[in-house]
Amino acid sequence: MEALLRPIYQERASEPNTLGVILVEKRADFSPITDMFDSILLILTKESEVPVFTKHYTYEDKKTALHIITEKQLRKWLLLGTNPKLVDWLINGRVVFDRNEYVESLKQELYVFPINGRKARMGIEFAKLTRRYLEGKLFFEQRNFLDAYNHMVDSLHHLARLAVFENGMHPEVMVWNQVKALDPSIYKLYDELISSDESLEKRLELLFLASDFLIHSRSKDGAQHIIEVLGSKEFWTIQEIHEQEELKNYSVDLEVFIEFLIDKGYISIEEQQTKSNAIMHRYYKVMM
């Protein structure tokens, strides 16, 4: 296979902008990790006008997908966790070209998972967890059990990824295989939610009771990144928080997360007078 694909990636490897080339071959007849292709050619570049460029090839009775990805896009996906199969490709793929050991350094970084990057990932994941959990709880109180179920499944996925981060690892596509070994208590909650013989209402009721503790016990670690960032000055407007470079990736979950942290006592509200006596400006301050 590699011999047939070599002319394709060698042309790219000769370009000074190319940082590395990874070949990923399917490991089973049915292979969602390789998007149902027989192989993936992942080419990492320093920069490009197009952050992701894709081409498909056929040869003999097989098919290959070529993905050219910029370093900036790669880092964004790794930070946000929006492309978990990428972690599998980087870890399990075969490096066929590596300029100045860039790919090897990247793989070592994935294994070590530096604490600064981990704190940011945990904060973003915890913010997602907070929103889905609170929305699920509201649906449950409104007796919209199917919507509550959907949100709680998502919440448990976020909780599962947090457990993986806590162990210094990156979540992979089959995250529940990881969590089963790393944190059986979360795996048990997930298993009971989807497979218990109890009524849906009862399953959700029991899950909320257990989840309250699990979320509360992770609040300090989940809030660490945003608290450290907001601790860099005394007061913030919500617009300043949205525009802060490290917090932009919290996206639509940011304001719900801020309110959650106020409720938990990590952030306080400072009111300042507006031109109207009846309305106050709302500023945010980290509780020391």
Looking at residue 45, which CATH number applies to its domain? 3.30.460.10
Tell whether 103 and 126 lie within a shared domain.
no
Mean pLDDT over the full length of the chain: 91
Give the burial string for 145-183 (b: 16+ CB within 10 Å, else e): beebbebbebbbbbbbbbbbbeeebbbbeebeebbbebb
Are residues 104 and 119 both part of a single domain? no
Q: Clarify whether residues 80 and 130 are in a common domain.
A: no
Give the pLDDT confidence score for residue 1 in this predicted structure: 62
- 72 plus 120 within the same structural domain: no
| Residue 135 DSSP SS3 | helix
Q: Kindly state whether residues 138 and 262 are assigned to the same domain.
A: yes
Classify the phi-psi angles of 154: left when phi > 0, otherwise alpha if psi is within -120 to 50, otherwise beta.
alpha
Domain region containing 105: 2-112
Whether residues 176 and 106 fall in one domain = no
Specify the number of domains making up the chain: 2
In this structure, the answer to whether residues 71 and 87 fall within a common structural domain is yes
pLDDT of residue 4: 74
What are the pLDDT digits (tens) for 263-282? 999 999 998 888 888 888 99
- Segments of the chain with pLDDT less than 70: 1-2
Contacts of 45 (CB under 8 A, 6+ apart): 15, 17, 18, 19, 68, 69, 70, 71
Confirm if 256 and 238 have CB atoms less than 8 A apart.
Answer: no
pTM of the model: 0.80
